[in-house]
Structure 1
Amino acid sequence: MWRGLRTALGRMGFTVDRVAALLGPAARAALDRGETTPARRAVRDAGDAGTLIRLFLLGDAVPRDEAAEALEPVDVGEAVSAGLLSDRDGQVSAALDLRPHGDAAVPDAGTWWVLSDLEVDPAGRTADREHVLGTGAASLSLARATVRRPVDTLLDVGTGCGVQVLHCSGHARRMTGTDVSDRALDMARVTLALSGVDAELLAGPWLEPVAGRRFDQIVSNPPFVPGPPQVDHVYRDSGLGGDGASALLVGRLPGFLTEGGVAQLLASWLITSDDWTERPRTWLAEAAEAAAPGGLDAWVVQRDVADPALHVGTWLRDAGVDPASPEGTALSERWLDFLAGEGVHAIGFGFVTLRRTAPDVAGTVVCEDLRQSHDDPLGPEIEAWLDRTAWLARHPGDTLLDTRPRVPDTVALERGLVPTDEGWSEVAATLVRLDGPQWRHDVDELGVALLAGCRGYLPLRDLLDLLALAHGRDADELAEAALPVVRDLVRHGMLVWE
């Protein structure tokens, strides 16, 4: 049946671009807000393609004969038996979520179709334990953060309905997806078959299905939501309690990477002190042991922080539970009691990138807060961070002094001034990157003077010697103070080398 369905979907133009054209920008925006009437009006005269949009995107029931015409050569009865549709009193409606999907960053991808369970909301039904998510915000954010360089082997841990495999199909030659849920793997098989993508799918928890194997790249959108040690919903709960899922994967993934291999995952961490990095850093110590005899580069980026009440309310609504209902009240009490018992005052969320390096390469571990607005895909920035980190590893200690730094055109200097009786008085100078994550670094006047000379002509050593001479400073002491700052600027793309 699924082969016939792919034929029908392609023939009817049930694609991202065609659906967008039929709906128009106003109806698309309304649909994103959960308002279906403008979209319904827009496709009223769109024929069979409009029938598919009403059926699968708007959740409408349509007459059986209209569904049969739009889905031909698929038999409606067969689709009902397969669980794709439900049939009641001659009206057919979707029993599963089926929608077109795409990625402009994947060359020659064609059209993808993603099969998952229907979305839930507090006004309707609650998600089942085995509920399979589709193209949700978390999965799309991971796809946008994924490094897209060509690799031979790729592993997707917790593949769900196969969204990450689709997005990685443009740069990975052989792909493997694992999941503990047989239902999720069934969805993934259909998603990949409809989309013309080939991958190995294996059942089992965590990394057990690929024990003893190594991969050039690993991606994972795991059940990372911190909560009590039980599984109410497989897509969200690990059963490990707290941030156990993130701890497990961060600690073990390097042992499944080839030398130079990169792992990327979404993660959450419990914040129990003033230092949000405390828990991720303990996981990275275990990760370094897993990478041995190789080294480990690690970049932990915190993208959001939520207080316990916001965290609990968000994930209850995500599962279709109204926090104000009797069920929601009981669940909220249980979750908040658990978090309070763990001493949690906030929950952090973000991305973890791990690279297994050669044994003779000193690893780099960086934890950074990136809660500022950042609409660009994070993937290119992660790629660049890995390159810059590798470059710094090749230039340890004083060897950096012999390189020729340049401040790129995407970096600007901001000066902060306050009014005084004598006029404006400068209180701060900040180096700002104008693209990507828009990193900011405060710099003193010596730093401003040094960076003004970084045009790619003179070695850093000569620039520091001139600066020391002009300001009556010891050149060696100035270099010792400047090198850590220079390395930070390199990692953030605010200094480059010719």
Structure 2
Amino acid sequence: MTSVSHEHPHAPASDRPDLLAALAVDLTALDYTVGAVAELLGPAAHEALSRDQTVPALLATRAAADGGDPARAALAAVVRFFLLARPLGRAALDAALPALGAEGLLRLRLAEEADDAGLLAAAADLRPYEWDGAAGATRMWVASDLAAHQRPGVLRTDHVLGIGQASATLVQATARRPVARALDLGTGCGIQAFHLLEHAGHVVATDVSERALAFARFNLLLNAGALGIDPDRPEERFELRRGSLLEPVAGERFDLVVSNPPFVITPRARDEQAEDQFTYRDGGLPGDELVAGLVAGVGAVLAEGGTAQMLANWEIPEGSPWDERVRGWVPEGLDAWVLEREEASPEQYAETWLADASQQRDPGAYEAAYAAYLDDFASRGTTGIGFGMVWLRRPGPGQARLGRFEALTHPLEQPIGPHWAAAVERADWLAARGAVEPGPGRGAAIAGERLVVADDVTEERHQRPGAEHPGVILVRQGAGFRRTSLLSTELAGFVSACDGDLTAGQIAAALAGLLGRDDDGFRDRLLDEAATLILEGFLLPATPAEPEEKA
């Protein structure tokens, strides 16, 4: 399958490389970066804008425009135009963007004629974006549709979302490694593809929306230099395909798949049409069937050792544990690690997604839609909706078989992706020794290993006043998943002795002798618990000592 242009009359144009280059020159000259915009607005106004409150930023840009500094005035004009969606005259835009000019904005479909004669209005949100990667800071600009706080009325159903909380969550959660081929399933404006290009040789990005693909192509080509793309041969690095879920890549294999799919659970109407659905969030299937199908089917496009990470919602039937349905989605032969990050009631869920599309602006429609959500959930006996992150893998030789389903609702260190990758590596390390699953023989498998306490781990002891010994001993992680584990006195003693000098078996034997416990069951249980602490990151294999140089 070959790439196509993916031009769309109601999306930015990507078929004018000369104009894209001129825009990049202007934005670079303006220093239109995250840091420069934050400095221009000031901390309070910048923070308010992150909450979609524009008035403080309007005041700050007005002050910058009147401050007598031409460079700050030009940056303020671009911020007002693209981030605050305030119309500007052609002369102001020509001055701020001299290489492209107002006419170039119109030709790129980034601007349109405003109602007021002589003014132009932004036709898209264009904002700076950056991240720190392996090669240093990557700075770029991302176009998407204007959001609810930038335009009146309900969002269009083919709305192309910008860099929202969900997409940022997936960026931070992805366990990254160099790969040959990666898939961004449901690319939207292209945010996941941008990050994949940093460590993947080739990226395929798919979406059901032709308009979303047009935004993604514009963004990829506007930032060709930062993303290592040759504008004359973009197909060498990325390919855009239109289609639903896995259909555009059927029969292919990828080393890494990421997806922020349209996972929102939306009530179905008997007479609804595809154009009635918000394509950026609604997959058109009842309940959580879209996510269930994706989890069940993504293994078909994973290479051996390949991984998939996605965001998901799932329904929780009354009286059932949150993970019961999700476990049933994972096919035999795939590893799974699912983190539930939060749960919502049907009422909370309805309010969240009705507000997301500004549907509260039509009171009559809002009431009907709210009632439809509640009726839909009640029809399936759903009393809760979970949100979380799904990691899947087609394991290769020597890799662990994982089936972890856990609710972690406390704050995690971000980005969590590197810690997730390290956790999987520890599981594979244990698997190579036959020590992943708890049970007989697990302890013996690590008895010859030397262990150390992870640098971020601290210990807490709690005891009643006057008590001789603590009643509660906890170890806590200050980084990564930030887990807390309750230790027995014996296990606390084991952990305290893990400094890399003695093997785990020697420490267990010493504790058995000290406590008068010479039974094998004591040592086996202690080492079995230690293996769990390795899996969760409290204990780590000691780094082998470097051989001494001979004189």
Normalised TM-score (structure 1): 0.92
Given the alignment, which residue of 412, 433, 438 partners 1:374? 412
1:492 is displaced (CA, Å) by 1.5
Segment drifting more, 364-373 vs 182-191: 364-373
Q: Is the 8 A contact 2:350 2:374 kept in 1?
A: yes
Paired residue for 2:49?
31
Paired residue for 2:27?
9
Q: Which residues of 2 match residues 146-295 of structure 1 at below 5 A?
A: 146-196=174-224, 197=227, 198=229, 199-229=238-268, 232-272=277-317, 273-284=319-330, 286=331, 288-289=332-333
- Within 2, Cα distance between the matches of 1:403 and 1:423? 36
Q: Is the 8 A contact 1:3 1:193 kept in 2?
A: no
Segment drifting more, 312-321 vs 30-39: 30-39
1:220 is displaced (CA, Å) by 0.7
Query: What secondary structure sits across from 1:402 in the alignment?
Result: coil
1:495 is displaced (CA, Å) by 0.8
Segment drifting more, 229-238 vs 264-273: 229-238
**How many residues in Structure 1 have an aligned counterpart in Structure 2?**
488
Q: Is the 8 A contact 1:178 1:209 kept in 2?
A: yes
Segment drifting more, 86-95 vs 360-369: 360-369
1:56 aligns with 2:95: no
- Within 1, Cα distance between the matches of 2:451 and 2:374? 51
Q: Deviations over 1:43-97 (max 9, x none)?
A: 3332322211110011111112212332333353453355321213111111211
Q: Deviations over 1:406-452 (max 9, x none)?
A: 22332222123235xx6587432212112222211111222222222
Q: Is the 8 A contact 2:206 2:248 kept in 1?
A: yes
Cα separation, partners in 2 of 1:81 and 1:62, compared to 1, 3 Å: same
Gaps of at least 5 residues in structure 1 are: 290-295
Query: What secondary structure sits across from 2:386 in the alignment?
Result: strand
- Amino acid in structure 2 at the alignment position of 1:97: D
Q: Is the 8 A contact 2:412 2:481 kept in 1?
A: yes
Q: Deviations over 1:170-220 (max 9, x none)?
A: 212211101010000000010111111442111111111111111111111
- Amino acid in structure 2 at the alignment position of 1:311: Y
Paired residue for 1:74?
100
Q: Is the 8 A contact 1:62 1:93 kept in 2?
A: yes
Q: Is the 8 A contact 2:505 2:527 kept in 1?
A: no
Cα separation, partners in 2 of 1:297 and 1:484, compared to 1, 3 Å: farther
Q: Deviations over 1:233-258 (max 9, x none)?
A: 11111112222222122222222122
- Within 2, Cα distance between the matches of 1:346 and 1:468? 47
- Within 2, Cα distance between the matches of 1:106 and 1:120? 35
Q: Deviations over 1:134-160 (max 9, x none)?
A: 010111111111223222211100000
Q: Is the 8 A contact 2:132 2:138 kept in 1?
A: no
- Amino acid in structure 2 at the alignment position of 1:391: W
- Amino acid in structure 1 at the alignment position of 2:308: A
Given the alignment, which residue of 494, 508, 513 partners 1:469? 513
Q: Is the 8 A contact 2:170 2:310 kept in 1?
A: yes
Q: Is the 8 A contact 1:121 1:321 kept in 2?
A: no
Given the alignment, which residue of 438, 441, 445 partners 1:399? 445
Structure 1 runs of 4+ with >6 Å offset? none
- Within 1, Cα distance between the matches of 2:279 and 2:134? 29
Q: Deviations over 1:429-488 (max 9, x none)?
A: 212112222211111222222222222222222322333333344533224433442232
Q: Which residues of 2 match residues 348-427 of structure 1 at below 5 A?
A: 348-359=386-397, 361-396=399-434, 397=442, 398-419=444-465, 426-427=470-471
What percentage of residue pairs aligned between the two structures are identical?
Answer: 37
1:318 aligns with 2:356: yes
Cα separation, partners in 2 of 1:479 and 1:268, compared to 1, 3 Å: farther
Query: What secondary structure sits across from 2:471 in the alignment?
Result: strand
Cα separation, partners in 2 of 1:440 and 1:472, compared to 1, 3 Å: same
1:391 is displaced (CA, Å) by 0.6
Paired residue for 1:293?
none
Q: Which residues of 2 match residues 80-95 of structure 1 at below 5 A?
A: 80=106, 82-88=108-114, 89-95=117-123
Given the alignment, which residue of 112, 130, 133 partners 1:105? 133
Gaps of at least 5 residues in structure 2 are: 1-18, 66-71, 230-237, 435-441, 543-551
1:313 is displaced (CA, Å) by 0.5
Query: What secondary structure sits across from 2:369 in the alignment?
Result: helix
1:121 is displaced (CA, Å) by 5.0
1:362 is displaced (CA, Å) by 4.7
Paired residue for 1:292?
none
Measured on the aligned residues, the alpha-carbon RMSD in Å equals 2.3
Query: What secondary structure sits across from 1:174 in the alignment?
Result: strand
- Within 1, Cα distance between the matches of 2:267 and 2:523? 51
Q: Is the 8 A contact 1:122 1:322 kept in 2?
A: no
- Amino acid in structure 1 at the alignment position of 2:248: P
Cα separation, partners in 2 of 1:361 and 1:40, compared to 1, 3 Å: closer
1:106 is displaced (CA, Å) by 5.4
Given the alignment, which residue of 436, 445, 449 partners 2:489? 445
- Amino acid in structure 2 at the alignment position of 1:433: Q
